[in-house]
Amino acid sequence: MTNNSLVIQNVSLSYDNGKVLAIDNISFNVSADTVCVIIGPSGSGKSTLLRTIAGIEKNFDGNLFLGGEKLSPKTKKIGFVPQNYGLYPWLTVEENILLGVRIKGKIMGDIILKMNNIMESLGIFDFRHRFPKELSGGQQQRVSLARAFLLNADLLLMDEPFSALDAITREETQNIFLSLWEKHKLITILVTHDVEEALYLGKSIIVLSKKGRIWEILNNPFFGNRDLPIFLFDEKLEKISIF
Ligand code: ADP
């Protein structure tokens, strides 16, 4: 584990004045060049955990560190890709992509160059003056990815980013994400309830149980590999396929 790791230490959070324990004493580390996937059944605390790491949920017990320092959105750049893409309908594609860097600082010429390169590699350059409603779901998701990668975040968090896409577009967008990620290698946490997606995109996979606890942490030998071998359903992986 390098000094750049994300460390999640004994994190718990409850809602309704302690009546609903959404995540219960969660601890794990994510090393710098890793996509970590969190998978679990509905209500297992995946979104709560992601929102806590993002700094959206503030009322939690435990500690979060990134690169050896306390993790805070005030000191670290955190990219967040929500389920519904998080695009502003009144802004163009280009304006939406620039939003993250605009909030964090001045727009420089090299940022525009980088944005154009990212838009080219995502196949959305020609749509840069359109508005989100003029794009398909897959294209909107690419805009959301472009925004996250342009920010050059210290940490990228993605909440079921591909779940609203049809099967073919989902595969395509997953591939695009992975090739962008290979270039930028942002420390990434991706939440999903899809086992195939977890196996394709997760270098490490955290399996949550219904009670918001860690059930299993897996190092995934199938990361980036779509041709899953027949022996996939060994004892451990079978566990996650039951959701
Ligand atoms: P998941 O993302 O795995 O579906 P969530 O993190 O959304 O799980 O929810 C975990 C638990 O916390 C569930 O029991 C859910 O009902 C509860 N919960 C989530 N958000 C709130 C909230 N804002 N107020 C009260 N309970 C909540």
Candidate from 12, 15, 193 with most ligand 1 atoms within 8 A of CB, to mutate: 15
Enter the pTM of the model.
0.89
CA dist list (Å): 65 to 46, 92, 123, 148: 19, 35, 35, 21
Contacting residues for 192 by C-beta, under 8 A, at least 6 apart: 37, 38, 39, 160, 162, 163, 198, 201
**Of the listed ranges 21-35, 130-144, 203-217, 220-234, the one predicted with least confidence:** 220-234
With a Cβ cut-off of 6 Å, ligand 1 is lined by 15-16, 20, 22, 40, 42-48
Question: In b/e form, how buried is each residue of 184-197, taking b as 16+ CB within 10 angstroms?
Answer: eebbbbbbbbbbbb
Name the most confidently modeled range: 18-32, 157-171, 214-228.
18-32
Taking the C-alpha atoms of residue 7 and residue 220, their distance in angstroms, rounded to an integer, is 19
3-state secondary structure of 114: helix
Return the DSSP state at 6: E
Ligand 1 mean position to 184 CA, how many Å? Answer: 32
pLDDT tens digit sequence for 223-232: 998 877 655 5
Please state, rounded to an integer, the average pLDDT across all residues of the chain.
88
Ligand 1 mean position to 216 CA, how many Å? Answer: 20
> Residue with the nearest Cα to atom 27 of ligand 1?
15
Taking the C-alpha atoms of residue 16 and residue 105, their distance in angstroms, rounded to an integer, is 37
Among the atoms of ligand 1, which is closest to the Cα of residue 193? 3
pLDDT at 242: 44
Cβ atoms of 174 and 225 within 8 Å: the answer is no
pLDDT tens digit sequence for 144-169: 989 988 988 899 999 998 888 888 88
Mean pLDDT of 232-239: 52
Candidate from 23, 47, 48 with most ligand 1 atoms within 8 A of CB, to mutate: 48
pLDDT at 236: 53
pLDDT tens digit sequence for 65-98: 999 999 988 888 898 888 888 899 999 999 999 9
Cβ atoms of 100 and 151 within 8 Å: the answer is yes
Candidate from 13, 14, 17, 20 with most ligand 1 atoms within 8 A of CB, to mutate: 20
- Main-chain dihedrals φ then ψ at residue 58, nearest 5 degrees: -105, -20
